[in-house]
Structure 1
Amino acid sequence: MSNHQNEIIQNIPQKGFFGHPRGLFTLFFTEFWERFSYYGMRAILIYYLYTQVSKGGLGFDESTANSIMAVYGSLVYMSGIIGGWIADRLLGTGRTVFYGGVFIMFGHILLSFPGSVPAFFASMFLIIIGTGLLKPNVSSIVGDLYSPEDNRRDSGYSIYYMGINLGGFLAPIIVGTVGQTYNYHLGFSLAAVGMFIGLVTYVLTRKKNLGQAGQAVPNPMTPAERKKVFVCFGLGVLIIAIIVIYFIMKGLLTINVFTMVVSILGILIPLVYFIVMFCSSKTTSDEKSRLIAYIPLFIASMMFWAIQEQGANILATYADKRTHLEFMGLQLQSSWFQSLNPLFIVVLAPVFAWLWMRLGNRQPSTPTKFSLGLILAGLSFIVMIFPAYINGTQSLANPIWLVLSFLIVVLGELCLSPVGLSATSKLAPAAFSAQTMSLWFLSNASAQAINAQIVKYYNTNTEIAYFGTIGGVAIVLGLILFMLSPKIQKFMKGVR
């Protein structure tokens, strides 16, 4: 551990939040409110997209709406590249988190006003940029609270992850009920309020609880580099704007074309990212070995998120169109199913955090945890075959099937996601710390970019084949990763 890292840790109160550094409180509640705003908006977004204009929606067909949701999710996480680069080279993670929250809040404010399709895309742009600035960097600051040898690190990320999902649990119930019962835009306004509270929490507590964590710029640009980058950025934006305007005027830039472009970028960007970091002179030989170990983990993460993120489009549509929305006399809202994933995480995250701490050095290796997560994700889709197989696709399914599917994928998520955050912070090259965290979120972006094409094949006629094929592929990949785990562990050079 460097002297600078040691200085940061010494200036952070190491006790005060469930036996963890007090700074975890600040990051826990900042991310709680940010996720409340994000998941609240997302819980009703798919329905807002395909609901008829006369009923307060935008009137897209269901297939297009599902693709838009996937592309939006992809761009949200893809924008983490920008956030990571700005934090590493310009502002540091702390200030980047603040500006990200401001962008997100204004995006939700714009969405809360009744508007047209262009207004919708403008609000999405603000939220995408804001989330890219905030999401990877607030997670990176969590890693700054602990030394690499601190056994509390995985447990700390699990607690932090619980905060994320506590916000995600409450949001669909509150925002979803208001949006579906009264008005979509009223629901979106609650998301804006949530982000505002998150910003206030961060500003009022960061100095006392975080100290110097997130303040340093790890790889600052020289004045010459800064000038060159800004000139290239300005020219790039101008060229892209001209190309986009030209294609729009010619009628060539359709939603289908745009989703295909995003899907291609979802594959190319992480590939370029790995190559740049691996070839950099600032990356040591041990760090290069760890990057090689990170590749199969990244691929496994992509496959996992390709399944998990369909809870917001395919399974959300399934809840609205294929599920009996009454259970034990209670009338359900389809958006409430979006609370199942975070609810199970809130309940089970402490169990997993306790388990990893209890096992200590005897706990499964990171690649083994990833393989278990991937297998469970596959099983969560296999479960969704049974309603159609037993009763056909013309009758409404019992809501218990959706509940079971969400439960299984959550068990996989707790094996993979918080562990992946922790592993990324440990495997990251020092000169690319925030950008490597961006790369972790890019696995989600790549998954949803691919989903933008895959979700087009889902309908009631292909339901069994759709869930069975994707679930089967995930299980096979999980088994392969399990067999390769010992070899991957060697490339991690002492990082467990």
Structure 2
Amino acid sequence: MQAAVQHENQQPNGSRKKHPPGLYLLFATEAWERFSYYGMRAILVLYLTATAAQGGLGVDKATALSLYGTFTSAVYITPMIGGYLTDRFLGRRLAITIGGVIMALGNFSIFIHQSVAALYIGLALLIIGNGFFKPNISTLVGDLYEENDPRRDGAFTIFYMGINFGAFFAPLVVGLMSYKYGFLTAAIGMVVGQILFNLLANRYLGDIGKEPTGKVHAAASQTSTAPLTVREKKRTVAIVILAFVVIAFWTAFEQAGSSLTLYAQDQINRQIGSFTVPTEWFQSLNPLFIMILAPIMSLVWYKLGNSKRGDFKTPTKMGMGLVTVGLGFLILIPAVMYTGNDPALKVNILFMIFTYFLHTLAELMISPVGLSMVSRLAPLKLASLLMGVWMASSAVANKLAGVLASYTQSLGYFDIFSLIGAVTIVLGIIVLFLSKPIAKLMD
């Protein structure tokens, strides 16, 4: 059975329309991991800033936003280390299991005791575990397809739905319980995902991901020791260039868990009749829009890829995404001009809904397309490492996002949101103009 699955996954797939079943196993595994992560992320800043009587730690807002940025930055740095170890010593599937277990322990540590020490231990475990899990689950998706398979971008968009399926339900669930049990729920979600993955991996993935990447290719050739070709070097340069470009996107996008969360809590009218919408629920808007829009975007990329005109170049999609995320912040400017930082003033909930809609549209133009690009262009012996580099751009962005978010408490939301919107739109236009030369590097 394993041999049959492996053969089906590794043979040329360009003529087939259906995706291999392994994609949906990885979809489900990622959904549970994201349920865990986004459940924890939705309550982290709120837990930090809530008083002890409210079940929190009573940290001031600026410090909480900075700590949030440090944490979300670190979870994107460790995939570089995890990717390096996997390429040389660990099979991707083993790395995914190690990471999942460590992350479950991290959330459980925060659940056990309400203290700063327990929080730091838990966050450290989450950071380490994510380093093993994140780069390898994404790279396994790419292993299911040939390099030029027209379904690749669509496959990563479907996989992205798994990310957001878990991310949608997590804030809804943890928003209805105390912070303490929210962290426990996140730990349980991680455990469920690991059980599912380890029970079904052999059946749906065959031997894919069992051996370290370097070992697999060294057995067949000298790929692991041979120097990079000129083509591989150019492709690596293209990946690095676009990794720097998307720093601006993620800096804007990651305001969702920090400044946008506090703005929603303090200055969005969350009252619908007699019901007050929990602040955590705003974190479900992005994954909800992803699940609605991802199938549409997947179909668009597939149709364009098979048309005479051809699909948009990857840099073009990313330039469009940068402009779109900037427009999302411009929508908030009239609201911020009205409310300032005065918690007594409230604005319509539709401002936040439209902002998240545009941010989601931008995300679909950048994130799944970027994952597909790295898996397609990265030299085989550097596949997981370069996936880690791609995610490291998010590390820089998340720290920068936390710093900018903390300044909303001193400079105000108007200055920071205007700055983010202007920078992303201008950079997006520049990327659109440079799309062709970057595409030439990608070959």
Q: TM-score, with normalisation over the residues of structure 2? A: 0.92
Cα pair 1:12 1:23 within 8 Å, conserved: no
Distance in 2, matches of 1:148 and 1:392, equals 50
Q: Is the CA contact (8 Å cut-off) linking 1:92 and 1:214 kept in structure 2?
A: yes
Paired residue secondary structure (2:214):
coil
Q: 1:418 aligns with which of 346, 356, 368?
A: 368
1:477 matched residue in structure 2: 427
Q: Which moved more, 1:385-394 or 1:183-192?
A: 385-394
The equivalences for 1:290-305 within 5 A come to 290-305=235-250
Which residue number in structure 2 is paired with residue 172 of structure 1? 171
Structure 2 residue aligned with 1:306 = 251
Give 1:41 deviation, angstroms: 0.9
Select between 452-461 and 49-58 the one with higher mean Cα deviation.
452-461
1:448 matched to 2:398: yes
Residue 39 of structure 2 corresponds to 40
Find the partner of 2:231 among 282, 286, 302: 286
* Residue 439 (structure 1) aligns with: 389
1:277 paired residue number = none
User: Are 2:344 and 1:349 aligned?
Assistant: no
Aligned residues: 425
CA spacing shift, 1:322–1:427, aligned 2, 3 Å = same
Alpha-carbon distance in structure 1 between the residues aligned to 2:112 and 2:295: 39
Distance 1:409 1:102, change over 3 A: same
The aligned residue for residue 102 of structure 1 is 101
Which residue of 1 is the match for residue 219 of structure 2? none
Matched, 1:376 2:324: yes
Where does 1:8-157 land on structure 2 (aligned, <5 Å)?
A: 8=6, 10=8, 19-157=18-156
Correspondence for 1:260? none
State the 1:112 CA deviation. 1.4
Identity of matched residues, %: 39
In the TM superposition, what is the alpha-carbon distance from 1:220 to its structure 2 partner? 4.8
Structure 2 residue runs of 5 or longer lacking an equivalent are 217-224
CA–CA distance in 1 between the matches of 2:140 and 2:367?
17
AA partner of residue 488 (structure 1): I
AA in 1 matched with 2:107: H
Tell me, yes or no, if structure 1 residue 360 matches structure 2 residue 305: yes
Residues 89 and 219, structure 1, Cα contact 8 Å, conserved in 2? yes
CA distance in 2, matches of 1:380, 1:18: 35
Structure 1 distance, partners of 2:62, 2:10, is 49
1:258 equivalent in structure 2: none
Assess if the C-alpha contact under 8 Å between 1:300 and 1:374 holds in 2: no
SS of the residue corresponding to residue 112 of structure 2 reads coil
Structure 1 gap ranges (5+): 1-5, 222-279
2: CA distance, partners of 1:396 / 1:459: 17
Instruction: Please state whether the residue corresponding to 2:210 is helix, strand or coil.
Output: coil
Partner SS state of residue 347, structure 2 = coil
What is the CA distance between 1:110 and its match in structure 2?
Answer: 1.2
Aligned-partner Cα distance in 1 for 2:189–2:317: 33
1 CA distance for matches of 2:52 and 2:391?
A: 34
**Partner of 1:194 in structure 2?**
189
Question: CA offsets, 1:204-256, max 9 Å, x none?
Answer: 110010012111212259xxxxxxxxxxxxxxxxxxxxxxxxxxxxxxxxxxx
Structure 1 residue 281: Cα displacement: 6.0
Cα deviation for residue 114 of structure 1 reads: 2.7
Further displaced range: 193-202 or 449-458: 449-458
Residue 214 of structure 2 aligns with which residue?
Answer: 219
The alignment's C-alpha RMSD in Å is 2.1
